[in-house]
Amino acid sequence: MLSRRIIPCLDVRDGRVVKGVRFRDHVDMGDIAELAMRYRDEGADELVFYDISASPQGRSVDHAWVERVARLIDIPFCVAGGIRDVETARRVLHAGADKISINSPALERPALVSELADAFGVQCVVVGIDSIREADGQWRVRTNTGDPSRTREPGVRTLDWIVEAQRLGAGEIVLNCMDSDGVRRGYDIVQLREARAACHVPLVASGGAGEMLHFAEAFEQADVDGALAASVFHGGTIAIPELKRFLRQRDIEVRDV
Amino acid sequence: MSDVAIIDAGGANLGSVCYALERLGVAPRVVRDAAGLEGADRVILPGVGAAPEAMRRLHAQDLVEPLRRLQAPLLGICLGMQLLYEGSEEGDVECLGLLPGVVRHMRPGQCIRIPHMGWNGLRIMRPSALMDGVPEGASAYFVHSYAAPLTADTVAASDHGSLFTAVVQRGRHCGAQFHPERSAATGARILRNFLEMDF
């Protein structure tokens, strides 16, 4: 039976792992390779490296650290940030990334999703979505969220974009619920359930994990395939082996550490 | 193992497979044509992408007949394993025909998402040195939408909606549907078994 995935997300800026609250005030969390190996050893099922400096500044990720990580770790990892064309994606994948995640560039030019799926197969193509609840109660996407001064509101409904992204060739959706991100009050179960109903490819929850129960809720109530978190892992609030024991006790299928 | 050849057929996981072998202390050769296969003690066919494109590339590189005639033990990984079968439903393409059976699209269902992406358990179906030291139920990392059926060659199965072949061996032709290069200790052990076992 397929295990639910625990996915630490390492926000990368200028070659270091950083973490901010609600996308602001980034704090240095450590060296990329050191953190990658620590999480691998603790039993992380997958890692996401999100270059938060890349997309708003219109530049793509520096591939040197991708190769450095690929040589070291023997679990899958995904690279996000600043991938805007097939050639850049090819370089990142050939440097050793297993998947690439695109967010703002996919909204700016949806055909990119299809181009990547055609070139590498849908299983390589993750569409990341930053979503926020607006005054009318609708969830809508945001782009360029790595830099609040450059964040845009394309006016696209999150659930519509989830459907469209799959049609174009997304092999996985990572839904980052911005209202809950960084505040540790739990994943946005209501939004994730709506997303789940619209999402037939793997769905990963992001934003809001503060305690072990939050992971269980996302798996049990929103049926997500994976749960992504950053600060609770980086700061040591939650240890992955303990989290997996907790989930297993609740009969949630997880990979043994 | 002195001479391990990895075929560059355009698959994006080529680098990862090389690194996994390097972690085992092996320096593989990346080969792009039939001449590169000469003298190899082991040959690995990695693959990520779609079967028709991968077969087109193998034809373009004049590798199809040399692979069919290859005497060295051959390990296909992910799409590379699917290419060892007679054909694939993906684009209705004829594959290498080294293993009987046709690769088919996996069926989505309640709680069964396609692509099958993530860690899943291995159910050992019959003895093979490929699985030496790998316990029943060990997890491996899968990413795929097509799968090979259970046949007499199936060494280990996995379950995603229904059972499919996760590890296969027929004589010197071996395959792993998952990514051993990304399957932690389980994957490293299976790669090492392939390099060290007698055929």
Beta-carbon-side half-sphere exposure of residue B19 (alpha carbons within 13 Å): 26
| Interior angle at CA B96, CA B115 and CA B121, nearest 5 | 35
Q: What percentage of chain A carries pLDDT values higher than 90?
A: 66
Active site residue B196: no
Q: What is the pLDDT of residue A60?
A: 57
Per DSSP, the three-state class of B152 is coil
Tell me the shortest Cα–Cα distance from B179 to chain A, in angstroms. Answer: 9
Q: What is the torsional sign of CA A50, A53, A55, A59? A: negative
Does A230 contact B at CB distance below 8 Å?
A: no
Q: Does ipTM exceed 0.90?
A: yes
CB contact under 8 A, B15 and A96: yes
CA nearest neighbour of B153 among B123, B186, B175: B175
- Based on C-alpha coordinates, what's the Rg of chain B? 15
Separation in Å, CA of B177 to nearest CA in chain A: 14
Distance CA A60, CA A80 (A): 9
Are A49 and A82 in contact by the 8 Å Cβ rule? The answer is no
Residue scoring higher pLDDT (A83 or A162): A162
N- to C-terminal Cα separation, chain B:
13
CB A209 within 8 A of CB A184: yes
Residues 6+ apart with CB under 8 A from A69: A32, A33, A36, A47, A49, A77, A96
User: Using the beta-carbon criterion (under 8 Å), do B119 and A3 form an inter-chain contact?
Assistant: yes
Range of the domain at B111: 4-196
A147 pLDDT higher than 90: no
Apex B149 CA angle, B146 and B123, nearest 5 = 100
Question: Which one of the listed residues B78, B95, B144, B173 is annotated catalytic?
Answer: B78
A87 touches A63 (CB < 8 A): no
pLDDT at B158: 98
Beta carbons within 10 angstroms of residue A1's beta carbon:
10
A75 CB within 8 Å of a chain B CB: yes
Return the CATH number at B116.
Answer: 3.40.50.880
| Mean pLDDT (10-residue bins), chain B, 199 residues | 86 86 96 95 89 92 97 96 97 97 93 94 98 98 96 98 97 97 97 97
The better pLDDT of the pair B98, A88 is held by: B98
Q: Which residue has the tokens 């001449």?
A: B35
Q: What is the pLDDT of residue A149?
A: 84
Catalytic residue among B90, B116, B181, B196: B181
Partner-chain contact B145 A123, CB within 8 Å: yes
| Total structural domains within chain B | 1
Tokens (6 digits) for B12: 């994006």
To which H or E segment does residue A257 belong?
none
Tokens of A28: 């240095």
Across the range A173-199, mean pLDDT stands at: 93
Alpha-carbon distances of B17 from A43, A212, B6, B181, B182, rounded to whole Å: 21, 34, 8, 5, 9
Question: Which residues of A form the catalytic set?
Answer: 11, 130
Q: How far is B99 from chain A (nearest CA, A)?
A: 24
**Interface residue B116 vs chain A (CB under 8 A):** yes
Three-point CA angle A74, A82, A222, nearest 5°: 65
Please give the angle made by the CA atoms of A15, A17 and A19, to the nearest 5 degrees: 135
Whether B163 has its CB under 8 Å from any CB of chain A: the answer is no
In chain B, residues with a C-beta closer than 8 Å to the C-beta of A223 are 111
